């Protein structure tokens, strides 16, 4: 009855699965390497585009920080709207 569940050696099956995964990963890496070699201009353009977008994002973030800092410097008030400070009273 349980023979159908234990037909093979589990270590052998696990090793076979790992070997299949490593084989397909190797083929994928070789194919991706060939693709990069053949289309290096396209990948260079994509990398440059990513760096440009990251650079503009960093510039935008820096400008926002400078503007927020300037706005905070102009309003040095200690008052904050909708903020309440509660103190615990000692009942001693």
Q: What digits encode the pLDDT tens for the residues 63-89? A: 999 888 887 766 555 666 677 777 777
pLDDT digits (tens, 9 = 90+) for 20-70: 999 999 999 999 999 889 999 998 999 999 999 999 999 999 999 988 888
Contact residues for 43 (Cβ-Cβ < 8 A; gap 6+):
36
Residue 78 CA to residue 4 CA, distance in Å, equals 76
Q: What is the pLDDT of residue 64?
A: 92
Enter the pTM of the model: 0.48
Residue 20 CA to residue 77 CA, distance in Å, equals 67
Confidence of residue 91 (pLDDT cuts 50, 70, 90): low
Q: What is the pLDDT of residue 92?
A: 59
Residue 44 CA to residue 33 CA, distance in Å, equals 14
Q: What is the pLDDT of residue 48?
A: 94
Q: Measure the CA angle with vertex 51, ends 47 and 55; round to 5°.
A: 170
């Amino acid at each position: 009855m349980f023979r159908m569940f234990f037909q093979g050696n589990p270590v052998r099956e696990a090793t076979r699965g790992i070997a299949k995964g490593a084989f397909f990963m190797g083929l994928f890496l070789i194919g991706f390497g060939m693709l990069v070699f053949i289309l290096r201009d396209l990948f260079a353009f994509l990398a440059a585009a990513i760096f440009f977008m990251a650079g503009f994002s960093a510039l935008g973030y820096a400008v926002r920080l400078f503007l927020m800092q300037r706005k905070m410097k102009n309003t040095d008030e200690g008052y904050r709207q909708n903020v309440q400070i509660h103190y615990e009273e000692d009942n001693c």
